[in-house]
Structure 1
Amino acid sequence: MLFFVSLVLIPVITNGGTIRPSIPPTVGGNAIYEPVENEVVVDVVGESKCPDTTRFIFNMLLPAFKKFWSRLRINYHPYGPFKHTACSNSSRAGCTCQHGPDECRKNALQACVINALPEAGDYLDIVACIQGPHSFNNALQNCILSGPFGGRLDKNKIVQCANSEEGMTLMAQHGAKVRLFADNVNWPQPIECQTLR
């Protein structure tokens, strides 16, 4: 799991104001609701079956996002370290993952959800639901088909995406994005702020 943080000093302008357009549906009473003047961009690279990623998402990322949602821009990238994860560049996308083929399928499922719902406030709880040791089929059933998040997604499109080359292609695109800012990182949890580690 890799974390990268950079500070963006430009306000996010939407609908004539400076408040982020997406509010996490489960924001608690102690959330920070101030207008955005500075925004911290956090790029998180995680693997869907990685125990470290799972702990990070549930113990750190979700609580921080729920409290500081108006000041954070989360970009979650379902892709493992380059040392253990690879996707082909051929016309027929295929990937290998550190925790096996089921992890690749779950990473692809997360990538499909992120593609359908590009704002972290809309996708982060669904990505968290998919996260963990359970199988692709369990994640698909519990988080997409019959879970509490189905109303936000076109279930048929997500299932089709996750079970086709499209899902692996989206996962590969996340890997390409990660390579742009973390090409030399092959493992653990570096934090990058303003390009410094």
Structure 2
Amino acid sequence: MAPTVPLAVLALVALVAPGLGVAPPGCDYPAHRWCSSRDAAAACQVQSRCPSLPRPAAAPVQLSLYYESLCPACRQFLVLKLFPTWLLLPAEMLNITLVPYGNAQERNVSGKWDFRCQHGPEECLGNMMEACLMHEAQNFSTYFPVIFCLESGSSVTKNLEACLQIYAPELDSGRVTACVQGDTGMALMHHNAQATEALQPPHQYVPWITVNGPCVPPQKHTDELQAQAEASLLGLVCQLYEGEKPEVCGGSKAPKLPSGCSR
């Protein structure tokens, strides 16, 4: 008696096999395995006929914020736009990089870096505190709520202890202070200065936002993207993300995508 072939396999062969089951060039899989994996489907040119295949993981939208700790517009964007958007979206949708420096200037004085900030020495201190906080905490979900607390409070430079107690009690404020007062803080600010000066196009104001995602090369800034981020950051990220979107994206205002992008 001939072996029995399951009906499901026969149906699959009929569904996916072009030319009565003849494998296309480069396909080394039997017809009943063409939909067994993404590699097999690609080799046998049947991706569109394999609806059960898992979708590939989508890359997160990358957003970098170049800012100053005491800049009113920077604080407004971080507190009212960036932080709420981060809270609303799944972690895999959005990666954020914070670069506190902005319109500051640095110079080398007798082998040591000296910084001059747009809003004075207090802002330089705030920039370095936040840079050191990131360095010591490492984990974004640990330090971002603390920075939000600092930027939304009455004083960026005087509320570190209180903000740490609320949002990151496991982090010792003494470590952050030691960083600020030592060579590490200077090195971190020098790094931020270099990153800011390397921007293309050069930054002209703060906050300065760069984004990358589909149709948007890495670390791109345009007036259009800046305006969209400031008007509806949630809507922009939802539009740029290529993966499955959460329910919150359904109610967000969808901005016009950058030129050359489509959905």
Distance 1:166 1:60 in 2: 30
Matching residue of 1:66: 87
TM-score by length of 1: 0.70
Which ranges of structure 1 fall in alignment gaps of 5 or more residues? Answer: 1-34
Matching residue of 2:198: 180
Q: Provide the secondary structure at the position in 1 that maps to 2:58.
A: coil
In 2 relative to 1, CA 196–159 (structure 1 residues): closer, same or farther, beyond 3 Å? closer
Check whether the contact 1:42–1:75 (CA below 8 A) recurs between aligned residues: yes
Matching residue of 1:124: 144
Distance 2:181 2:121 in 1: 12
Q: Offset of 1:107 from its aligned partner?
A: 0.5
Check whether the contact 1:87–1:93 (CA below 8 A) recurs between aligned residues: yes
The equivalences for 1:1-197 within 5 A come to 37-68=58-89, 69-81=91-103, 85-89=104-108, 91-131=111-151, 134=155, 136=157, 138-144=158-164, 147-182=165-200, 184-189=202-207, 191-193=209-211, 194=217, 195=220, 197=222
In 2 relative to 1, CA 80–38 (structure 1 residues): closer, same or farther, beyond 3 Å? same
Which ranges of structure 2 fall in alignment gaps of 5 or more residues? Answer: 1-55, 212-216, 223-263
Distance 2:81 2:116 in 1: 27
Moved over 3 A (4+): 188-193
Distance 1:130 1:36 in 2: 35
Q: Provide the secondary structure at the position in 2 that maps to 1:94.
A: strand
**Identical-residue share of aligned pairs (%):** 24
Distance 1:38 1:135 in 2: 33
Distance 1:180 1:101 in 2: 24
Q: Offset of 1:49 from its aligned partner?
A: 0.8
Distance 2:139 2:198 in 1: 21
Distance 1:190 1:169 in 2: 22
Q: Rg bigger for which structure? A: 2
Q: Offset of 1:88 from its aligned partner?
A: 2.4
Q: Offset of 1:36 from its aligned partner?
A: 5.1
TM-score by length of 2: 0.53
In 2 relative to 1, CA 96–174 (structure 1 residues): closer, same or farther, beyond 3 Å? same
Return 56-65 or 153-162, whichever deviates more: 153-162
Instruction: In structure 2, give the amino acid aligned to 1:41.
Output: Q
Check whether the contact 2:100–2:127 (CA below 8 A) recurs between aligned residues: yes
Count of residue correspondences: 157
